[in-house]
Structure 1
Amino acid sequence: MELLGVLVTCLSCLLLLSLWKQSYAKRKLPPGPTPFPIVGNLLQINTKNISKSIGLVSKEYGPVFTLYFGTKPTVVLYGYEAVKEALIDLGEDFAGRVNSPLVDLYAKGTGIIFSNGELWKDTRRFTLTVLRNMGMGKKTIENRIQEEALCLVQELKKTNASPCNPSSLLFCVPCNVISSIMFQNRFDYNDPQFQTLVKHFQDSIRLFNTPWVQEQQDKRSQFNMHHLIITIWDVFDAGTQTTSSTLTFGLLLLMKYPEVAVKIQQEIERVIGRDRSPCMQDRSRMPYTDAVVHEIQRYIDLVPNNVPRSVTRDIKFRGYHIPKGTEILPSLTSVLYDDKEFPNPEKFDPGHFLDASGNFKKSDYFMPFSTGKRACVGEGLARMELFLVLTTILQHFTLKPLVDPKDIDPTPVDNAFVSVPPSYEMCFVPL
């Protein structure tokens, strides 16, 4: 009985401490729904669709509010103006990262995604320099993407128009592009070593070894072997998962809306023809195709709440005090689905990126790669891959679903952190 009394007393103290800490923090942070002890607001949030829950909370508390995921506060930024003000206008202050125990276990504060401070700045500069030196943003990498897209076409032809799940093949394309940049080598899709690498990526967060030496002998340098391995992993993982998922969603949407695919193919026939591969110069003459690629990215909302950030110092933001280290959750959904910028945002409509004359229309609200200091370093590469691969596929195949298009459901199977496309089969019918 005495032991039970001690346990009850300790638990009561923990609950009181939690309540006091939350009450103290709430006096400084933006307002938000009252959190429960220990679990915070988790019981009030649908963890399988955090974006929807956040949208409901914003209707009551506005564009800046606080949620507790457990005992730690998270300041949510909702809507274009709040996201822009934080990530662009005050980019340096909102450029921190919050590392979870799982991330710390493998990354230990290294790499390009989860590092902070000067290490992150140096790593970002280093990564961009290496990628550019190895061809990113140049004609050479465009040629590699074109070659890889044609390799994909050859693999798809081997299916003989019979049902297949395209996700694995689509994953191989950006993975091989990154391999050709980093190692100056691509792999055959059936190569057992390559298949093992692909499986590791799809299983996620496993490390692989590489003989890339920098300054591991210099004890003062943060650029040690572990840091470089994590950086390479980050580049591979981010550069393959996001692009392949977007392509997987994209084909599904084009089957659901076959009239869109037909219009793209008409534009391909008019601008490119059948005798050469699509190139990036074609994009400016293919406004409808460009609009479709943008609309796919907007509609699927691949990373709904961005990769969580933190503030790098104590700041005042819209009249609220946000202490250094506070986690920040910028809602990209609230920007990509803004109904003033994109009328009927729940509808897949390439017209969101076309003007009245049918010309491509840019939008500051287009933020699938995030924005500001922590924007995706591979954005340019991803844009090239999406345009070239999709146009190459549609240049060679008609996309045939196994069900009636109206019965196709492109809803993600999970979108707590990253939107995961549903598994499906389809037929690639040669033209």
Structure 2
Amino acid sequence: MITSSAPGRNVPTFVPDSPAAWRRLLIALAIATVGSVGVWSVVIVLPTVQAEFGGTRAVASLAYTLAMIGFGLGGVITGRLTDRVGIIPAMAMGVLSLLLGYLSAGISNALWQFNMAHFLVGFGASATFAPLMAEASRWFVRRRGIAVGIAGSGFYLSGALWPPLINRGITHYGWQTTHLALGIFCGAAMTVLVLILRSSIGRTQQHRPGADTRPSVDTRLSPNVLTVVLSIASFCCCMAMAIPQVHIVAYCGDLGYGVGRGAEMLSLMLAFGAVSRVGSGIIADRLGGLATLLIGSVAQASALTMYLFFDGLTPLYVVSALFGLFHGGIVSSYAIIVRETMPASEAATRVGTVIMVSLLGMSAGGWSSGMIFDMTGSYNAAFLNGVGWNALNAAIVLTLLLRSRARTAFA
């Protein structure tokens, strides 16, 4: 921490990569771990809600689809808000939306009401992902990759911690009471954490390093064209990523292992995803975001293929852990790529845009996998469909990597 030299004033100035930056990062991680529950709770409750309200697997999966649409659209809106006025107003919007979404879901009397409530749930959770990763990238220069990875790992830590608790709540108290409790707890906990983050930011000047310098990587594409290309790539990889994440619980139920086993596999998958996200940040600091993304894409395709050959209980635990370890750093790599290739002053908006399209891929992948299951009575065709989308993603990323070159001036 250093101080301003302005006459008569002793104003603290934020220093990138400093202990203050790491403290902010830990607060951001806690916020993301709580707030990202909005993405994972619907995966656990899907079989229960389908059984209570009736309907096909595809219709029940629309709750996840709408949550992902809300998450994606919210990422753009809260990202734009972050670029203009800062992270705190964006977080406040997210807390309110998450609270209203869970309370609405808890009092739903029809499946369409439950599904629509999850748009608000996803919108609220969005503030804890793309905007936080973009903001964390401004707190670090030398360790930017690992910082983005840690900020993004709250998404997976949430998925590792919450599913068993939600499953237990549904078993003992019912899905409606569980959703009401989630809304109250998350609203209160996130409010406290956001106030702590506001206090941390308020003690120093809002210095944003690198905002006026050139990006470090040149893909020889304009920012708008590159945003479109990255968005297409993110859609493709998330079409594949959605299949195990959305349907592993239902898949285990279909195989006779029970929903509880599926929830455990999801937690295991996401715990390894958190490890992968941090590890990918370390790799990105050495190799760059595009190379890290390509490694993750190829690894995800290999893990997805394993689901075609193994359906025993123990092998499914192993494959789910590998899937988490292989795919966890993919989405955060897009945030790193944006910071390497585009102006920092637009980071949250452009990261939010790419993440929005990726989550459209997640929502489409979750719904289409349910539809394929309804048509075939098996998830094998859905896994094959995912491998094809994954191959297209790898081809796009490889093309960008071959076109890219380092600039002499670094952000």
Q: TM-score, normalised by structure 2?
A: 0.31
Q: TM-score, normalised by structure 1?
A: 0.30
Of structures 1 and 2, the one scoring higher in RCO (CA 8 A, sep 6+) is 2
- Which structure has the highest strand share of the two? 1
- Which structure has the highest helix share of the two? 2
**Structure having the higher Rg:** 1
